[in-house]
């Protein structure tokens, strides 16, 4: 016996719903196909980025992942730690490393998920990077070390300095976060955003759209006071960095707020010498934020560079290098524990001589 239906024809009413779902699935498949095609287009011409700042290259395995770093010079150890954003890596120190290496052993590091380091799909957090930096200094540098860090990484440097003042006897901080910006814990909305960007196809497409050449240029023009510094070459380099395989994972954690950290308590416990740099024309981190840092640590040695935006070490490298180098030479001993070879490299490997 055939079932009875209320409609006049012989087709069950669920056929309409089935048809709707079929169309949705087909359109969804088309969207996924379009996203995959866009991802392929976004990565077109993007190769693995080379070492653009020179020095002796090293690769250190941390928790099963390769961390890229460079080393040059002789003297007390100084570690330069880049800021955190979609196109972040140690390239931001390109105008600083040679000058500082005249009197120090200068290390740069690409944090996990950025630059030339591995970019695994893990759950990144502020604790990830604090542990990474601490272990790098202990295992690779092998002695006391001055941290020179930018933005969110500078907040991590403050945490480390407060925890272990003997290992980190001095800090140079560039527009650190953790007081009024990037100090709140992650929320539900942020988690949803991270999960969306972490999804393989659509998330990659969303991240590629956020990290388009147009958006990267806009961000750089906001970060620099002098927009003539935002050249096509600089945009292309930033674009390539932001489109390496796995590039979306760490920035997704940043967007979600998982990399945020509150530094108030650590800043109150910070007793070693600390140098604070700011760009007077900074827009992302306005110069007025200095007041909060000075209120919690009145003995900060403060230098405001002008004209300079949110990357004063890059925009005013001559002033930055002289101030930092003079400050370091005044506070650090003439020699410190250094290593003649990098982990995993053969004895007698060539070294880049310090600039003269």
Distance CA 175, CA 306 (A): 14
Hey, what domains does the chain have and what are their CATH numbers?
A: 56-331 (3.40.50.1820)
Q: Are 259 and 182 in contact (CB under 8 A)?
A: yes
How many angstroms separate the Cα of 216 from the Cα of each of 207, 302, 336? 12, 30, 40
- Residue appearing with tokens 């009197």: 103
Q: Which of 62, 75, 44 is nearest to 110 (CA)?
A: 62
What pTM value is reported for the model? 0.80
pLDDT range class, residue 331, cuts 50, 70, 90 = confident
Condensed to tens digits (0 to 9), the pLDDT of residues 143-182 reads: 999 999 999 999 999 999 999 999 999 999 999 999 988 8
Q: Which residues contact 133 (CB under 8 A, 6 or more apart)?
A: 79, 81, 109, 147, 153, 156, 157, 160
86: DSSP letter: T
Q: How many residues appear in the chain?
A: 356
210 φ, ψ (degrees, to nearest 5): -65, -35
Condensed to tens digits (0 to 9), the pLDDT of residues 171-187 reads: 999 999 999 888 787 66
Instruction: Please state the rounded mean pLDDT for residues 328-343.
Output: 56
Lowest average pLDDT, out of 208-222, 237-251, 320-334, goes to 320-334
What is the residue-averaged pLDDT of the chain?
83
Q: Are 323 and 278 in contact (CB under 8 A)?
A: no
Six-digit token pair at 37?
Answer: 């095609």
Distance CA 109, CA 92 (A): 11
pLDDT at 103 over 50: yes
Q: Which of 207, 242, 221, 213 is nearest to 284 (CA)?
A: 221
**Most confident option among 27-31, 138-142, 188-192, 197-201:** 138-142
pLDDT range class, residue 203, cuts 50, 70, 90 = low
Lowest average pLDDT, out of 3-12, 148-157, 331-340, goes to 3-12
Distance CA 250, CA 278 (A): 25
Distance CA 224, CA 245 (A): 27
57 φ, ψ (degrees, to nearest 5): -85, 145
Instruction: Please state the rounded mean pLDDT for residues 268-282.
Output: 97
Per-residue pLDDT, 195: 56
Distance CA 235, CA 219 (A): 10
Distance CA 150, CA 80 (A): 8
pLDDT range class, residue 197, cuts 50, 70, 90 = low
Per-residue pLDDT, 344: 42
Lowest average pLDDT, out of 10-19, 180-189, 297-306, 321-330, goes to 10-19
The full DSSP string for 167-189 is: T---EEEES--SSSSS-SPP-HH
Per-residue pLDDT, 15: 55
Higher pLDDT, 331 or 68: 68
Q: Are 65 and 124 in contact (CB under 8 A)?
A: no
């Amino acid at each position: 016996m055939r079932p009875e239906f209320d409609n006049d024809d012989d087709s069950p009413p669920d056929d309409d719903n089935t048809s709707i779902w079929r169309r949705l699935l087909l359109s969804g498949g088309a969207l996924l196909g379009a996203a995959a095609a866009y991802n392929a287009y976004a990565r077109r011409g993007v190769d693995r980025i080379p070492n653009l700042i020179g020095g002796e290259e090293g690769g250190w395995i941390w928790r099963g992942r390769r961390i890229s770093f460079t080393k040059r010079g002789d003297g007390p150890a100084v570690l330069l730690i880049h800021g955190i954003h979609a196109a972040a890596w140690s390239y931001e120190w390109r105008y600083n490393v040679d000058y500082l290496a005249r009197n120090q052993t200068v290390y740069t590091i690409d944090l996990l998920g950025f630059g030339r380091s591995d970019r695994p799909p893990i759950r990144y957090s502020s604790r990830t990077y604090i542990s990474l930096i601490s272990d790098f200094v202990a295992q690779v540098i092998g002695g006391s070390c001055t941290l020179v860090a930018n933005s969110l990484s500078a907040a991590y440097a403050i945490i480390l300095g407060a925890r272990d003042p003997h290992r980190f006897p001095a800090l140079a901080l560039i527009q650190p976060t953790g007081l009024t910006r990037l100090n709140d814990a992650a929320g539900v909305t942020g988690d949803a955003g991270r999960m969306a960007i972490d999804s393989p196809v659509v998330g990659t497409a969303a991240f590629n759209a956020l990290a388009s050449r147009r958006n990267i240029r806009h961000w750089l023009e906001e970060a620099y006071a002098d927009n003539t510094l935002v050249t096509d070459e600089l945009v292309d380099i930033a674009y390539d960095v932001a489109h390496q395989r796995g590039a979306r994972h760490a920035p997704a954690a940043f967007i979600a707020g998982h990399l945020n950290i509150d530094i108030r308590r650590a800043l109150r416990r910070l007793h070693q010498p600390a140098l604070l740099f700011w760009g007077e024309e900074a827009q992302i981190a306005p110069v007025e934020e200095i007041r909060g840092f000075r209120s919690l640590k009145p003995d900060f040695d403060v230098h405001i560079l002008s004209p300079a935006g949110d990357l004063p070490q890059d925009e005013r490298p001559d002033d930055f290098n002289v101030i930092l180098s003079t400050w370091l030479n005044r506070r650090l001993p003439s020699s410190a524990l250094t290593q003649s070879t990098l982990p995993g490299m053969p004895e007698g490997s060539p070294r880049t001589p310090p600039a003269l």
